[in-house]
Amino acid sequence: MASRPPFFAKWGEARVKTRRLNEELDLLRFNQGVILSKLDSGNASPQLADHEFKVFSQWGEDGILQFLTRVVPIAQRTFIEFGVEDFSESNCRFLMQKDNWRGFVIDGSADNVKSIRRAPYFWRHELTAKQAFITRENIQELLAESGFDADLGVLSIDIDGNDYHVWQAIEAFHPRIVVCEYNSVFGPADSITVPYQADFQRSAAHHSNLYWGASIAALAHLASTKGYSLVGGNIAGNNAFFVRNDLVNGNLAVCTPAEAHEISRYRESRDAEGKANWLSGDARRRAIAGLPVLNVVTGETRTLD
């Protein structure tokens, strides 16, 4: 058999080295997270911002969830998270690896799911990865595939679009803690979301990449109808945290949407040609003015001002 050309041999070696380097970096992050978790274990502050640290989460969600799962009684260490991409950056991965939680994750990309199934943590932990495009019509059926009890530990929602509508459609599960992404550009007061569209995709909905999801007030309203209290948000201004009312205790600070809302500082906006234009502040809302939004309290659809 002819030997492979030197180029392909070197390319293969580079891939192996990159994979090993990534595994070593993940181990470093994990060990750092264990130390940070221990250091924070005596921190009794009810303010979520006081517990933030990042291991595998995008911002400080790892630290917040370590705190919440410490002060909220958890009957079953199970989580469901969707919109995880390849799971390298996620809200619940540290719970799985540090505290041996069982997990069920969903992403719309088949390549992302393949990547998850190839990762070392996949065989080391009880994790199921499902490829599916989530809608409010199929979410109940999808979550039933997890095999988890209705008394779920954590539910994490991050699909950059129909987040409100999908959470609203979930009836068979009653997680103890819910993490849901909100759109800070919509502000702290208006209870609004993008109108439901089954095939909604953020990048296609508007070139700006800013028209998606729901306001924190809309999510808080939905949470209250489901029996949950808002206990805070992260400093980055994109994730809100809710705890089931029967589990709220003195270790938590129930707050209003205005108190939990943060003005996001990260810049993801695009111009009409799809190039980053670094909008910030009120310029982001002006970029999507005139687009339709649904008031979840009144049921009326209006244009965003």
Main-chain phi, psi angles of 182, to 5 degrees: -125, 160
Does residue 276 contact residue 267 with C-beta atoms inside 8 Å? Answer: yes
**Mean pLDDT, to the nearest integer, of 279-286?**
96
Inter-residue contact 265 to 188 (CB < 8 Å) = no
Tell me, what DSSP letter sits at residue 296?
T
Share of the chain above pLDDT 70, in %: 95
Q: How confident is the model at residue 21 (pLDDT cuts 50, 70, 90)?
A: confident
CB neighbours of residue 25 within 10 Å = 10
Per-residue model confidence (pLDDT) at position 10: 61
User: 231-234 contacts: CB < 8 A, separation 24 or more?
Assistant: 231/46, 231/48, 231/68, 231/255, 231/260, 232/47, 232/48, 232/49, 232/64, 232/260, 233/48, 233/182, 233/260, 233/261, 233/262, 234/48, 234/49, 234/52, 234/59, 234/60, 234/61, 234/64, 234/262
Query: What is the pLDDT averaged over residues 101-115?
Result: 97
Q: Please say if the pLDDT value at position 7 is more than 60.
A: no
Does position 2 have pLDDT exceeding 70, yes or no?
no
pLDDT band at 17 (very low <50, low <70, confident <90, very high): confident
Mean pLDDT of the chain: 95
Per-residue pLDDT reduced to its tens digit, 208-217: 999 999 999 9
Whether 15 shows a pLDDT value over 70: the answer reads no
* Rounded distance between C-alpha atoms, residue 40 and residue 164, angstroms: 32
pLDDT, residue 158, reads 97
**Displacement of CA 117 from its chain's centroid (Å):** 20
pTM for the full model? 0.94
Task: Examine the pLDDT at 18 and tell me if it is beyond 80.
Answer: no
Give how far Cα 265 sits from Cα of 90, 135, 181, 183, 282, Å.
Answer: 20, 29, 15, 12, 11
Asked if pLDDT for residue 180 goes beyond 90, the answer is yes
Q: Quick one: tokens of 178?
A: 């819910």
The average pLDDT across 167-189 equals: 98
Q: What is the pLDDT of residues 27-74, one digit of tens each?
A: 999 999 999 999 999 999 999 999 999 999 999 999 999 999 999 999
Residue 246 pLDDT greater than 90, yes or no: yes
Percent of the chain scoring above 90 in pLDDT: 92
Domain annotation for the chain: domains and CATH numbers? 44-303 (3.40.50.150)
